[in-house]
Structure 1
């Protein structure tokens, strides 16, 4: 069964895409911890990050670094936090989160519920910074 991320890759489910290559996709988390929270995924459905072959793993990491650079410019912050948890969706994904304090990366806190206009604006800002 396809994951929700595979359905985003195939276009079955819309997403606020901020960057894309032939192998990787970066899009906004629609229930972010903070505005600008991006998910970076391989287009190929793989459940566990350490099951990726080396070329794909390094490619995903480099792609995430590129996206993080634009994210930091679009959403000025002290650092862009990186997290790989992978329990909620069985598809490798890296969280990139603009951070000004450690609580910005607290996954147990209540998520934001931005409007579609706010998400669209955030996507445009990040794309513009890339």
Structure 2
């Protein structure tokens, strides 16, 4: 059965897309730790990051770096943190979280944005790519 992320890639579930190329997709987390919290995923559905083939792994890291650089240009923050947890969705995903304090990295601190704020932010990050 396809993961929720595969359904997002296929357009079956809407998302606030930030970036996309042939192999990877980035979108805003709808339950963000901080404004700009973005998920980067391979289009290939693999459960665990270290089960990715080396080329896909390295490609995901390079793609995530590009998205993180665009986040830094778009969202005021001290740095962009990175986390790979993968327990909730069985599809590799990299969390990019604009950070101003450590609580934003705990996955217990959440912020709310309106649909318009999500859309505008996704467009601004994409433009910074």
**Bin of the TM-score, shorter chain as denominator length:** over 0.9
1:43-82 correspondence runs (5 A): 43-82=43-82
Work out the CA distance in 1 between the residues paired with 2:47 and 2:116: 31
Q: What is aligned with 1:29? A: 29
CA distance in 1 between counterparts of 2:98 and 2:61 reads 17
Cross-structure match for 1:112 = 111
Q: Distance in 1 between matches of 2:118 and 2:95?
A: 16
Counterpart in 1 of 2:102? Answer: 102
Which residue does the alignment assign to 1:17? 17
**1:78-105 Cα deviation digits (max 9, x unpaired):** 1100000000000000000000111111
Taking the aligned partners of 2:32 and 2:97, their CA distance within structure 1 comes to 9
Unaligned runs of at least 5 residues, structure 1 = none
- For structure 2, the 5+ residue unaligned runs are none
Q: Secondary structure at the match of 2:126?
A: helix
Note the C-alpha offset of 1:108.
Answer: 2.3
Cα separation, 2, equivalents of 1:57 and 1:129: 24
* Post-superposition offset of 1:48: 0.2
How far apart are 1:76 and its partner, in Å? Answer: 2.1
> Is the 2:28–2:36 contact (alpha carbons within 8 Å) kept by the matching residues of 1?
yes
Contact 2:45 2:92 (8 Å CA) reproduced = yes
The count of corresponding residues between Structure 1 and Structure 2 is: 129
Taking structure 2 as the reference length, the TM-score comes to 0.97
- Counterpart position of 2:127: 128
Runs (4+) of structure 1 exceeding 3 A deviation are: none
Matched, 1:83 2:75: no
| 1:8 correspondence with 2:8 | yes
